[in-house]
């Protein structure tokens, strides 16, 4: 099964920010990242995903069995849920050049409660790819620059108390992050 999460961001969500937000938009600003192509020691990012926004294209699965299997709650219309029962977070601890490719090796911590009594933090390893800057321009509108980062990593959901046999032990995650100066 493949899918996506509909609500996520690049923000280090603090304990004080872990709440329900009555908004349909981004509840916290994407402000917790820096990327240095030639000096990965200065590169970092902190991100989050709202687990209950899982979107596999199967509404019965997304609003039903996935919620219980992943230890979260149903979506409330008009509310962004950044509570401990619905939040998975990553925080980089190290970014280095990959000596075997033109990519970077990223070591983040993944924190998620899942079906556990309290959140668990696990060290993981991933690959980060830089998608170079390009100029975007449509018709006579002013052009602007864009670039992207693609992070790929894997984790074992059983570590987080997910026992459903409908969900594989190993979960592959791909984060596609696009930035612009518009």
Cβ neighbours around 134 below 10 Å, total: 9
β-sheet bridge partners, residue 9: 48
pLDDT of residue 68: 84
Is the predicted pLDDT of residue 44 greater than 90, yes or no? Answer: yes
- Classified by CATH at the fold level, domain 4-180 comes out as Lipocalin (2.40.128)
Lowest mean pLDDT among 19-33, 53-67, 91-105, 129-143: 53-67
Task: Determine the pLDDT at residue 162.
Answer: 92
Please say whether the beta carbons of 71 and 63 come within 8 A: no
Confidence of residue 167 (pLDDT cuts 50, 70, 90): confident
The pLDDT-based confidence of 67 (bands split at 50, 70, 90) is confident
Which pLDDT score, from 0 to 100, does residue 30 have? 92
- The answer to whether residue 138 scores a pLDDT higher than 90 is no
Q: What is the pLDDT of residues 103-132, one digit of tens each?
A: 999 999 999 999 999 999 999 999 999 999
**For the residues 141-151, what does the mean pLDDT come to?**
90
Q: So where are the chain's domains?
A: 4-180
Is residue 1 very low, low, confident or very high in pLDDT (cuts 50, 70, 90)?
low
pLDDT exceeds cutoff 90 at 140? no
Q: Is residue 112 packed enough to be buried (19+ CB in 10 Å), middle (13-18) or exposed (0-12)?
A: buried
What whole-number distance in Å separates Cα of residue 71 and Cα of residue 84?
10
* Residue pair 118/160 in contact by the 8 Å Cβ criterion: no
């Amino acid at each position: 099964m493949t899918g996506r999460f509909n609500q996520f961001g690049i923000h280090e969500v603090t304990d004080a920010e872990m709440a329900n937000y009555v908004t349909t938009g981004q509840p916290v600003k994407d402000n917790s990242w820096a990327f240095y192509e030639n000096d990965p020691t200065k590169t970092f990012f902190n991100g989050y995903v709202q687990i209950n926004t899982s979107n596999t294209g199967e509404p019965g699965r997304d609003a039903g069995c996935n919620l219980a299997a992943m230890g979260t709650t149903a979506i409330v219309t008009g509310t962004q849920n950044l509570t401990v029962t619905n939040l998975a977070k990553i925080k980089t601890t190290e970014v280095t050049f990959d000596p075997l490719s033109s990519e970077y090796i990223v070591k983040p911590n993944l924190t998620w409660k899942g079906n556990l009594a309290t959140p668990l933090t696990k060290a993981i390893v991933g690959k980060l790819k830089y998608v170079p800057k390009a100029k975007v321009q449509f018709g006579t509108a002013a052009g602007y620059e864009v670039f992207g980062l693609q992070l790929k990593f894997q984790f074992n959901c059983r570590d987080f108390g997910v026992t459903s046999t409908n969900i594989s032990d190993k979960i592959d995650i791909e984060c596609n992050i696009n930035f612009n100066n518009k």
